[in-house]
Copies of this chain bind each other. A is one copy, B any other.
Amino acid sequence: MAVTLRDIARKAGISTSTASRVLNGKTEKYRISQKTQILVQKAAQQLAYRPNQLARGLRLKKTHTIGLVLPDISNPFFAYVARIIQIHAFQAGYSLFVCNTDENQVTEIKQIELLLSYKLDGLIIMPVGVKYEHILRLVQEHLPFVLIDRSFDEIDANSVVVDNYSGAYKAVEHLIENGHHRIAIIQGLPDTYTNTARVKGYRDALSHYHIPVDPDLIVGNDFRQENGYIETKLLLKLETPPTALFTTSDLITLGALQAIYEEHINVPKDISLVAFDDVDFAPYLLAPLSAVQQPKELMGEIAVKLLINDMRSKGKFDKKRIVLEPKLMIRKSVLRVQASQPVAALSD
């Protein structure tokens, strides 16, 4: 059915090897005559030849394809990064295989397994959890890969992440500086790289300003919208509800907004809000949202660069761990509390 090199060879009256060499620009090395060259080119064009990448990959052990493993493509943050990665990969001559893990460790392992069996040249991974045996396997197999958004301090791998600790710290500090003491955090999936650092940033900011950490105000268990919704509902029902809320992902923020909206609560009058992940629509919300902005473009671009370096150098380069600084965008979702003078930080 499909047109093969054989068909071209037959049509041009030459052998498949010659056809292959012409089509791959190996004409000088193998001294192919002008005449044969145009003969082959014509035949290929007329038959609309399209090389079979399976056969090619099998023979060459190179597929010019990289895989992207991410937790949730419908999450705007991941989707955006995915697009950046796709663009840069494409520019570099690689196509991209995108896989969703649904924030599920088991699915992640399955998906990586799958990608491996397609013999991709490299992988960009946003790993789900706290386990990394399957990632270690990649190291053993010398498969180039880079971790993005989330990493593991324990393993020596290319990675590009944001300083989640610092971002969270800044966000909470901003709330404190505006006079807030009862600050709740809705965390994402516990034991993920990003979540751990964000929660730690939250705790440390409080501690630094000598505000006791109230365990009732640390809630939530995944990065999804439902989590934001439910936990906000519950927080608002507390006997003394928090005066400020720190949400740790864009979807959590969306869920929180939904709950706040339903309860007819006003931001920032009734509750102040700062989010991790600056979403496109943040400025246009009922209360334009103050948020920690991650350098998404940079992350994607660097990830591709690191991966390509790794693939080209066959692992000879040292692994690099890139940490990018997030930026707090201050808008109008934080109220300066009346008895305001900010709690002074004792000593430094």
Contact = CB atoms under 8 A, between A and B. Distances in A.
B119 A54 contact: yes
B280 A225 contact: yes
A317 interface: no
Interface string A1-37: 1100000000000000000000000000000000000
Interface string A277-289: 0011101111000
A53 interface: yes
Contacts of A119: 52-54
Given A52-B119, A116-B50, A258-B284, A73 B86 contact: yes
A125 interface: no
A43 B73 CA distance: 37
A117 B285 contact: no
26 contacts: A2-B141, A53-B118, A54-B58, A54-B119, A55-B58, A73-B73, A73-B83, A73-B98, A74-B76, A74-B80, A74-B82, A76-B79, A83-B100, A86-B99, A86-B100, A95-B114, A97-B98, A98-B98, A225-B280, A254-B280, A254-B281, A254-B284, A257-B283, A257-B284, A279-B281, A284-B285
A63 B54 contact: yes
A325 interface: no
Interface in A83-100: 83, 86-87, 90, 95-100
A57 interface: yes
A142 to B, nearest CB: 8
Nearest to A65: B118
Looking at chain A, what size class is its interface with the partner chain? 35 or more
Contacts of A87: 100, 102
A314 to B, nearest CB: 12
A140 B142 CA distance: 42
Given A74-B82, A114-B95, A58 B52 contact: yes
Contacts of A51: 117
Contacts of A102: 87
Interface string A41-72: 00000000011111101100001010000001
B76 A76 contact: yes
B95 A96 contact: no
Contacts of A50: 113, 116-117
Given A95-B99, A257-B281, A258-B283, A118 B83 contact: no
Contacts of A97: 95, 97-98
A70 to B, nearest CB: 10
